[in-house]
Structure 1
C-alpha cells in the first residue's frame, strides 16, 4: 500500500465516523458525556476527511501522537500527520471512508481503547480497501484526542458497508391480525457479513409456518441477495433493489410439492419502529395468485423487567 494511503487509514484507526457503535463499556465517571464527546468528534473527523480537510483532521491528534501501519512504518507527531494527510489528499483526491466501531473500552478516567473496521474507497465505483484498527484516546482536558493508532490487517472480510442501509431491520418485530400472528427476529451474523432473519406464522393459535432468511452481498451480481428456507420444505432466493425508503425484492423459489413460485416483495421503512410489507405479481405453478396487501409491522416492545 502506498505511503500516502496511510493517513486515510489513520482515520480508520481512529474509528471516527457517525456509524454504528456495537459495544461500549463506559468510563466509570460521566459515561454518557464521554461517549457523546467521542461520537461528536467522530462526526467532525469523518466530515473533515471526506472534505479533504487535513488541518481539522490533524487537530484531532495530540501533539506527540503516533500512527503504526501494518508494515511497521510510523508517523510521529501532529505536524507529520498534518503533512501526510495533506499529501494524501493531494495525491488521491476524493478519498472516502466508512467505519464500523466494534468496541470502546474505558480503562479509567480519561483513557479509552477503541477497535473496529474501516473501508477506504479511492474512486467511486472501486472496491473499498478494508482494514482493522486499534486506537488509544486520551482526554487532555480540552477534549478527547488520539494519542496512538495501530493499523491491523483485516482477518475476516465484512460486507457491513453494503448492508448497513438495512440495519433498521435488526430487532424483534410483530404483526398481529384478528386471527393471525407473525413474529420476526433479525440479527447480525458474526463480522456482519449477513443479516439473519427468522419468522413464525400462527393462525388461530396454531403454528402454521416458520423459517429463516439470510441476507448478504452477492459480489458477482454486485447486489444484495437473500436466501429463504421454510419448515414445509420450500426455499427461495431474492435480489434486492433500493428505491428510496423502499426495498424491492424479486423472489423466485420452489415449494415443497415441486411447483415453482415467484413474487415481488416490498419492504417500506416508515420509522425506527415501523415498516410495511406487501407481496405482488405472485405466480404459483404458472398460475396468477392474489396479491398480499400492505401489512404494517411494528417493533416488539421489550419484556418488562
Structure 2
C-alpha cells in the first residue's frame, strides 16, 4: 500500500526518527517514533507519530505491524516547521542605477522564527526600512509573516509553497494613516544565490497599484576580511 502511494505521489519524501525501542520478548520489539512527510509542492510538511511491531525470524527483523497517529503539536518544533525556508538565511542585495535594497535574514534565538530586516535607498538616501518575523502559527496551522515598517505601517502574510523552487505570500496590512494595503508576492528561487520576486495584485492606500516584476535579490558578497576564521 505504502509503496504504491509513493509511486503515485512522485517526489514525496519520508523522514523517520526513532524515539524508543522496547523488547517485549527476545524476538519481538516495539518501536515508537516520529515521521515527516514532505513534498516540493506542499505548503507545509505532514507530521505523525508511529508505532511498529518488529519480529525476528530466521535471523532477520521483519515489520509485522505499523500504526500511525497524528503528531502532538509540541512534538514538532518551530524550527522544524520552518526548515523549508532555511535558504533565506544570509545577506541579500538588489542594486540599480539609483536605488538599492538590502536585506539581512537570520534565525531568532532557539531558531523559533526567521527575522528579516531590510533597507531601501534612492540616490544614497534611505527611504524606508522595516523588520519582518516569519514563523509557524499554531492557531491557523500555517507559516505566517508579520511586518513592521519604519513609517509606522504593518502587515501580515500567509506563506504557501507552490513548487520546489517557489513560494507565494498573500499579504495584507495598513499604512500609518490606516488605509489598507494588500499584495501577492511570488518568490522564485533561481539558484542558491539568487531569488526573483514578483509583486502583483497590489492595493496601496485603497488604490490599485502597478505590479512590480522581476526584482532579483542576490547573496551579498562578504566584506574583505569578513570571512570565517579557519581553526588552527
TM-score by length of 2: 0.70
Q: Is the 8 Å Cα contact of residues 121 and 128 (structure 1) preserved in structure 2?
A: no
Question: Once the two structures are superposed, what CA deviation does each residue of 1:223-250 show, in whole Å capped at 9, x if it has no partner?
Answer: 0000000111110000111111211111
Within-5 A mapping of 1:1-305: 50=16, 87-89=29-31, 95-96=34-35, 121-122=49-50, 123=68, 126-127=71-72, 130=75, 158-244=77-163, 245-305=165-225
Partner of 2:229: none
Q: Structure 2 CA distance, aligned partners of 1:124 and 1:279?
A: 40
Q: Structure 1 CA distance, aligned partners of 2:93 and 2:224?
A: 17
Q: Structure 1 CA distance, aligned partners of 2:219 and 2:185?
A: 20
Q: Is the 8 Å Cα contact of residues 121 and 129 (structure 1) preserved in structure 2?
A: no
Q: Structure 1 CA distance, aligned partners of 2:173 and 2:144?
A: 13
Question: Once the two structures are superposed, what CA deviation does each residue of 1:39-63 show, in whole Å capped at 9, x if it has no partner?
Answer: xxxxxxxx8x84x9xxxx9xxxxxx
Q: Is the 8 Å Cα contact of residues 158 and 192 (structure 1) preserved in structure 2?
A: no
More strand by share: 2
Unaligned runs of 5+ in 2: 1-13, 38-46, 51-67, 226-232
Q: Is the 8 Å Cα contact of residues 175 and 182 (structure 1) preserved in structure 2?
A: yes
Partner of 2:44: none
Q: Structure 2 CA distance, aligned partners of 1:193 and 1:238?
A: 17
Distance 1:221 1:97, change over 3 A: closer
Distance 1:97 1:241, change over 3 A: closer
Q: Is the 8 Å Cα contact of residues 196 and 214 (structure 2) preserved in structure 1?
A: yes
Partner of 2:63: none
Question: Once the two structures are superposed, what CA deviation does each residue of 1:134-178 show, in whole Å capped at 9, x if it has no partner?
Answer: xxxxxxxxxxxxxxxxxxxxxxx8311110000000010000111
Question: Once the two structures are superposed, what CA deviation does each residue of 1:63-90 show, in whole Å capped at 9, x if it has no partner?
Answer: xxxx9x8xxxx98xxxx6xx69x6234x
Q: Is the 8 Å Cα contact of residues 34 and 71 (structure 2) preserved in structure 1?
A: no
Unaligned runs of 5+ in 1: 1-46, 58-66, 99-118, 131-156
TM-score by length of 1: 0.54
Q: Structure 1 CA distance, aligned partners of 2:160 and 2:136?
A: 12
